[in-house]
C-alpha cells in the first residue's frame, strides 16, 4: 500500500471515527463524595451592589433564567451599630435575593473599636497587630447574635451562618480598607467554645470558621478548634479563602491546595476569591473564564469543597479592576457564565460523584447527581486551544436516554446545544477549544434519601 493511501485512510478514519482518538472518562453513580451546599458571592462593604437592578439579580440568583447562585455573603457592621439598630451594608441586594431562596452568610471585618486592643477598627496601627480584647469576648458574641436576629427580622429571611472574623491571619494598616483583627487558632477555640457557640446555640445560625486568607493556612487556624470536641460541636462549616490559586494566576506565586483533614461532620467551604489588585483591568474574556474554571474544579475535586464563592458579584462605579463578575457598566464577564456551568446545574443538596478527573492534559472533569430526583451533571473543562474528544462511560447509572451540553466558550454563553444520545451507558463529544461544557440530564432513579459519602476520610473527636 502506498504512503499516500495510508495517509488518506488515516485522515478519513480521523474524520469518520473521532472517538477512536478520544480520551476515556468514567463517571460512577455509586462513588459518592461531598454534598454540595451551593455557589455564591459577595458585594463587599463599599456599596457596590446598591445600584444592582432586579433584572441583574435575576441573572445572578434565578436557576431557570440566570446562573442560580444560592449563597450570598454579607458584611457584619464594625461600627458598633448592632448593639442597637444594625446599619446593614447590603440591603439592596439582600432584598433582591430573598425571593430566590438564597442562603445568607455573614462575616465581620473587625469587632467594634471599643472591643479591640488598639481602640480602632483598623487592624495594624503603629506597627502593631490588634485583636479582640479577652474581656470583650462575651460582648462581641452578643453583638454577633444581635446581627443575626436583626437580619432575620429586617429581611424576612434567616441568616444561615456567620463567621467570627474575616481573615484572622491578615492585618492591614490601610486607613480606608484595613478593617480587621488577628486571632490565633487557640483564641478562636476559646471564643467559639466559651462565648460564640453558646450565644448562637438557640438561634439556629451555624458557625463557619476560620476564613483564613490563604488555603494552606487553614490547618493552623482550624485545627485547635476542630480537634477540641467541645468547640468543634459548635462548628458546621470550615471555611477558607482562595488567594493561593489566585496568586498563581496573577503573580505566578503557585501553591497547592489539599482537602482539610479534620472537618469531621462539618462541611468545607471556599468563601472568597477574585482577581483583584496588581493594576488589573476588567477582563470579560474567556482568557479569564477558563482560568477560573480550573480553580473551581480544583476546589470541588481536590479540596472536597461543598460551596465555592466569588468575592465581588458587581463592581461599583469607582472600582474598575478585574475583581467582579459584572462590571459597573453592565458588562458581563465570561467567568460569570463559567461559574454558571456549575451553579445553574449543580444544585444545593446534590452530591459529587466519582469521575476521571484529568483524562488528558488540560481536560478536567467533575460530576454530580441529585440523589432524590435522579438528575445529574457532568462538567468538562477544556483548557486547550484545540478541541478535545471524550468518550464518557456512565457506570452504575439508572436508565438515561440523553444529555444536553451547555457550553461556555469564546462565542457561547452557557448555551444549550442539541441533545446527545446515550447508548450502552456511554456517549462521545468533542469539547470545543477553551471551553466549559456541562452535560446535564435526568435518570429514572426512584426517589431515595441521600446516600452517605463513601470516599471521604474524617477524624472523629
Picking from 7-21, 378-392, 431-445, which range would have the lowest pLDDT averaged per residue? Answer: 7-21
**Domain positions in the chain:** 16-31+352-442, 37-348
Encode pLDDT of 369-418 as tens digits: 999 999 999 999 999 999 999 999 999 999 999 999 999 999 999 999 99
- What are the Cα distances from residue 426, in Å, to 24, 392, 400? 10, 5, 10
> In three state form, how does the secondary structure of 242-311 look?
CCCHHHHHHHCCCCCCCCCCCCCCCEEEECCCCCCCCCCCCCCCHHHHHHHHHHHHHHHHCCCCCEEEEE
For residue 159, the cross-strand partners are 104
Nearest to 317 by CA among 307, 304, 328, 332: 328
Give residue 458's pLDDT.
Answer: 46
Confidence of residue 320 (pLDDT cuts 50, 70, 90): confident
Predicted confidence (pLDDT) per residue in 196-214, tens digit? 999 999 999 999 999 999 8
Pick the CATH number of 16-31+352-442 from 2.60.40.1180, 2.40.10.120, 3.10.290.10, 1.10.3720.10: 2.60.40.1180
How far apart CA 25 and CA 148 sit, in angstroms, is: 45
Indicate the CATH number of 37-348 among 3.30.465.10, 1.10.3470.10, 3.20.20.80, 3.40.640.10: 3.20.20.80
16-31+352-442 matches 37-348 in fold: no
Rounded to whole angstroms, how far apart are CA atoms 319 and 336?
18
Q: Are 240 and 258 in contact (CB under 8 A)?
A: no
On whether the pTM is more than 0.75, the answer is yes
pLDDT for 459 equals 44
Closest CA to 178 of 244, 126, 223, 241: 126
Strands (E), 383-458: 388-395, 402-408, 415-416, 420-421, 426-431, 435-442
Amino acid at each position: 500500500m502506498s504512503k499516500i493511501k495510508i495517509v488518506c485512510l488515516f485522515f478519513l478514519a480521523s474524520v469518520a471515527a473521532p472517538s477512536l482518538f478520544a480520551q476515556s472518562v468514567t463517571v460512577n453513580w455509586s462513588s459518592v463524595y461531598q454534598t454540595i451546599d451551593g455557589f455564591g458571592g459577595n458585594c463587599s462593604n463599599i456599596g457596590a451592589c446598591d445600584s444592582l437592578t432586579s433584572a441583574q439579580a435575576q441573572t445572578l440568583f434565578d436557576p431557570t433564567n440566570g446562573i442560580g447562585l444560592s449563597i450570598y455573603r454579607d458584611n457584619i457592621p464594625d461600627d458598633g451599630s448592632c448593639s442597637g439598630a444594625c446599619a446593614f451594608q447590603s440591603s439592596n441586594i439582600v432584598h433582591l435575593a430573598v425571593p430566590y431562596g438564597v442562603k445568607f452568610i455573614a462575616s465581620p471585618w473587625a469587632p467594634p473599636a471599643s472591643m479591640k486592643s488598639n481602640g480602632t477598627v483598623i487592624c495594624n496601627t503603629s506597627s502593631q497587630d490588634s485583636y479582640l480584647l479577652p474581656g470583650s469576648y462575651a460582648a462581641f458574641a452578643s453583638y454577633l447574635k444581635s446581627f443575626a436576629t436583626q437580619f432575620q427580622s429586617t429581611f424576612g429571611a434567616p441568616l444561615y451562618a456567620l463567621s467570627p472574623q474575616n481573615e484572622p491571619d491578615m492585618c492591614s494598616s490601610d486607613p480606608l480598607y484595613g478593617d480587621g483583627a488577628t486571632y490565633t487558632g487557640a483564641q478562636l477555640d476559646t471564643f467559639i467554645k466559651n462565648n460564640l457557640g453558646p450565644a448562637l446555640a438557640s438561634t439556629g445560625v451555624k458557625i463557619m470558621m476560620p476564613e483564613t486568607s490563604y488555603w494552606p493556612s487553614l490547618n493552623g487556624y482550624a485545627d485547635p478548634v476542630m480537634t477540641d470536641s467541645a468547640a468543634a460541636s459548635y462548628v458546621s462549616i470550615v471555611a477558607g479563602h482562595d488567594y493561593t490559586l489566585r496568586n498563581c494566576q496573577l503573580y505566578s506565586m503557585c501553591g497547592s491546595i489539599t482537602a482539610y483533614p479534620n472537618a469531621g461532620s462539618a462541611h468545607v467551604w471556599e468563601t472568597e476569591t477574585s482577581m483583584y489588585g496588581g493594576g488589573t483591568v476588567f477582563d470579560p474574556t474567556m482568557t479569564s473564564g477558563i482560568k477560573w474554571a480550573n480553580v473551581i474544579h480544583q476546589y470541588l475535586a481536590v479540596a472536597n469543597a461543598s460551596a465555592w464563592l466569588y468575592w465581588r458579584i458587581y463592581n461599583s462605579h469607582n472600582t474598575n479592576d478585574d475583581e467582579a463578575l459584572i462590571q459597573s457598566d453592565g458588562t458581563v464577564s465570561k467567568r460569570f457564565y463559567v461559574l454558571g456551568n456549575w451553579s445553574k446545574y449543580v444544585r444545593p443538596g446534590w452530591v459529587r460523584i466519582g469521575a476521571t478527573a484529568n483524562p488528558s492534559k488540560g481536560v478536567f472533569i467533575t460530576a454530580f447527581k441529585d440523589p432524590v430526583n435522579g438528575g445529574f451533571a457532568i462538567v468538562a473543562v477544556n483548557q486547550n486551544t484545540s478541541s478535545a474528544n471524550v468518550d464518557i462511560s456512565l457506570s452504575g447509572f439508572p436508565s438515561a436516554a440523553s444529555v444536553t451540553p451547555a457550553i461556555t466558550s469564546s462565542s457561547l454563553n452557557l448555551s444549550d446545544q442539541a441533545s446527545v444520545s446515550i447508548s450502552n451507558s456511554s456517549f462521545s463529544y468533542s469539547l470545543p477549544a477553551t471551553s466549559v461544557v456541562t452535560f446535564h440530564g435526568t435518570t429514572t432513579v426512584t426517589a431515595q434519601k441521600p446516600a452517605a459519602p463513601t470516599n471521604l476520610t474524617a477524624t472523629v473527636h
